[in-house]
């Protein structure tokens, strides 16, 4: 049986926030899951072709790029600094050299800005006549200095060969994202929203780190966790080393690798800003959402980074980049990095990936109860208020009742309905969890054994 997932109702004037009964709880699909959206986070992708809506559109959430993001190859007059004239102008006086340097710097910045602007224009207007950014130019450059262990350079060098660019084309348009190689024979993990947006019949192409492009097919998808595995037609790939997100600490250095705005093999760095951040990410146009306990980072993550790697400084994958918080609007100019990026922890992703490879679908832990926000007298969220429990489900067997307010799971504070959903989804079916809750103002605790949705998360 499929349950509806209405949006969280807003307090009406004159209502007491404390008087929130079961009729105000958020309806979740029999597992503590649902669209309990206080804040919406945008899935990542590249840029979009005309006719698509940056905020979601009919086919894609906030991601996508025109094909492989390749415009007309630059001609002989590119870059904009052509050959020097035969007769050089008279050198400026020494006191003007500083000004000349500033002018040249401004021109270089202007050229870079022009290229970036042209790329955006080409993406949104599908103009192949406008120069667009392609792969980095390979000139006669000196070999990079040896990178010390633990540096961003060293970590990036270990993982760059294992991160790919993914292009999806269909009748609805084109989009690009990123992926992480997990096996030598072509298995690649990415986000579900990267490969599912094109619909049935979409063509998937993978651009490898060495510049080759190969076709790929979908191995399995899991919309609930926003994960997917595809199989590329290659047998000599370099798999990434998967680390442990459970060992991360706030303030620890991390590196994001992917294809923001179609710019493959892009490396950015930052820190872990927060852990276990309950993030609701989804496509409002398609009425689908994902709630997961995210790694929050200030490493620059932009549309197109979806499915790419978040790594520690040892060069191990600790997360899969999935969403960003936008600056309030859905327009192209407001969809970029503002220092709030979110990744699916690799500890949560591993068992889902294994099931997708083996069976094409995945199972999820289930508490078996509807849930909403509990609010204190000052109107702030102060826990997850339980609604109706499914007969024979994990919550029912543990003795939880409608009206109970969950305040912690395994010692971690629960401040909202989304936080409880994320906490449940961080576990696997059969796991035992300690749940702290209040009933009629009295603090209590129980141990619940989580059930399974058997690969059917909506019924």
Label residue 263 by pLDDT band (50, 70, 90): very high
| In a shared domain, residues 339 and 408 | no
Establish if 96 belongs to a structural domain.
no
| In a shared domain, residues 344 and 269 | yes
Establish if 84 belongs to a structural domain.
no
| In a shared domain, residues 173 and 212 | yes
Residue 281 structure tokens: 């990410």
- Final residue before a domain boundary, out of 359, 383, 404: 359
**Cα-based torsion angle of the residue sequence 77, 80, 82, 88 in order, rounded to the nearest 10 degrees:** 160
- Final residue before a domain boundary, out of 232, 262, 288: 232
CB 187 within 8 A of CB 229: yes
| In a shared domain, residues 324 and 387 | no
| In a shared domain, residues 349 and 269 | yes
Neighbours of 92 (CB within 10 A): 11
pTM attached to this predicted model: 0.70
**Domain span including residue 161:** 152-232
Closest by CA position to 348, among listed 170, 433, 236, 227: 227
Residue 24 structure tokens: 């105000």
Establish if 372 belongs to a structural domain.
yes
Look at residue 434 and give its three-state secondary structure. strand
Q: Estimate to the nearest angstrom the gap between the alpha carbon of 214 and the chain centroid.
A: 24
Write down the pLDDT at residue 138: 55
| In a shared domain, residues 350 and 248 | yes
Neighbours of 52 (CB within 10 A): 22
| In a shared domain, residues 318 and 369 | no
CB 233 within 8 A of CB 318: no
Tell me the CATH number at 185: 2.40.10.10
Write down the pLDDT at residue 313: 97
| In a shared domain, residues 445 and 399 | yes
Residue 348 structure tokens: 């949560």
d(CA 123, CA 118): 8
| In a shared domain, residues 409 and 433 | yes
Q: In the predicted model, is pLDDT for residue 118 greater than 60?
A: no
| In a shared domain, residues 348 and 395 | no
Establish if 287 belongs to a structural domain.
yes
| In a shared domain, residues 353 and 421 | no
| In a shared domain, residues 181 and 286 | no
The whole-number average pLDDT for the span 291-308 is: 94
Tell me the CATH number at 417: 2.30.42.10
- Number of domains into which the chain is organized: 3
Look at residue 23 and give its three-state secondary structure. helix
Which percentage of the chain shows pLDDT scores above 90?
Answer: 53
Neighbours of 10 (CB within 10 A): 6
Label residue 430 by pLDDT band (50, 70, 90): very high
Establish if 139 belongs to a structural domain.
no
Residues labelled as active-site residues? 193, 226, 306
Establish if 57 belongs to a structural domain.
no
- Final residue before a domain boundary, out of 232, 254, 282: 232
Closest by CA position to 403, among listed 364, 372, 377, 376: 372
In a 10 Å sphere around its CB, with 0-12 CB exposed, 13-18 middle and 19+ buried, how is residue 359 labelled? exposed
Residue 399 structure tokens: 């003795």
Residue 447 structure tokens: 């141990």
Establish if 386 belongs to a structural domain.
yes
Establish if 319 belongs to a structural domain.
yes
Query: Phi/psi zone of residue 117: left (φ > 0), alpha (ψ -120 to 50 degrees), beta?
Result: alpha
The per-residue pLDDT for range 136-168, each reduced to its tens digit, is 555 555 556 778 889 999 999 999 999 999 999
d(CA 164, CA 234): 12
Q: In the predicted model, is pLDDT for residue 94 greater than 70?
A: no
């Amino acid at each position: 049986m499929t349950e509806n997932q209405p949006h969280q109702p807003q307090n009406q004037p004159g209502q007491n926030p404390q008087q929130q009964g079961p009729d105000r709880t958020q309806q979740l699909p029999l597992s503590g899951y649902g669209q309990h959206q206080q804040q919406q986070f945008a899935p990542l992708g590249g840029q979009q072709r005309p006719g698509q809506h940056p905020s979601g559109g009919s086919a894609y959430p906030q991601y996508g790029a025109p094909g492989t993001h390749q415009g007309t190859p630059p001609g002989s007059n590119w870059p904009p600094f052509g050959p020097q004239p035969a007769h050089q102008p008279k050198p400026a006086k020494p006191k003007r050299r500083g000004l000349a340097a500033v002018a040249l710097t401004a021109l270089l910045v202007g050229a870079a800005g022009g290229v970036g602007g042209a790329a955006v224009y080409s993406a949104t207007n599908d103009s192949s006549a406008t120069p667009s950014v392609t792969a980095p130019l390979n000139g006669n450059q000196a070999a990079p200095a040896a990178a010390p262990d633990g540096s961003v350079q060293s970590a990036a060098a270990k993982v760059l060969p294992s991160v790919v660019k993914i292009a999806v084309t269909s009748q609805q348009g084109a989009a690009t994202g990123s992926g992480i190689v997990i096996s030598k024979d072509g298995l690649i993990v990415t986000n579900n929203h990267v490969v599912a947006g094109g619909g049935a019949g979409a063509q998937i192409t993978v651009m490898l780190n060495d510049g080759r492009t190969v076709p790929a097919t979908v191995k399995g998808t899991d919309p609930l966790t926003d994960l997917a595995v595809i199989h590329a037609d290659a047998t000599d790939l370099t798999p990434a080393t998967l680390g442990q997100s459970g060992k991360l600490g706030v303030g620890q250095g991390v590196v994001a690798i992917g294809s923001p705005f179609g710019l493959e093999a892009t490396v950015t760095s930052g820190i872990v800003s927060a852990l276990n951040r309950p993030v609701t990410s989804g496509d409002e146009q398609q009425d689908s959402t994902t709630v997961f306990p995210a790694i929050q980072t200030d490493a620059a993550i932009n549309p197109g980074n979806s499915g790419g790697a978040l790594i520690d400084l040892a060069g191990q994958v600790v997360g899969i980049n999935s969403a960003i918080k936008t600056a309030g609007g859905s327009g192209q100019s407001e969809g970029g990095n503002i220092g709030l990026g979110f990744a699916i922890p690799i500890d949560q992703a591993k068992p889902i990936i294994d099931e997708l490879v083996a069976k094409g679908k995945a199972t999820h832990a289930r508490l078996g109860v509807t849930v909403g926000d509990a609010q204190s007298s000052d109107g702030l969220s102060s826990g997850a208020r339980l609604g109706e429990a499914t007969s024979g489900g994990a919550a029912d067997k543990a003795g939880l009742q409608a009206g109970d307010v969950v305040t912690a799971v395994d010692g971690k504070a629960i401040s909202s309905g989304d936080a409880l959903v994320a906490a449940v989804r961080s576990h696997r079916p059969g796991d035992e969890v300690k749940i702290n809750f209040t009933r009629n103002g009295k603090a209590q605790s129980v141990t619940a054994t989580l059930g399974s949705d058997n690969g059917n998360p909506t019924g």
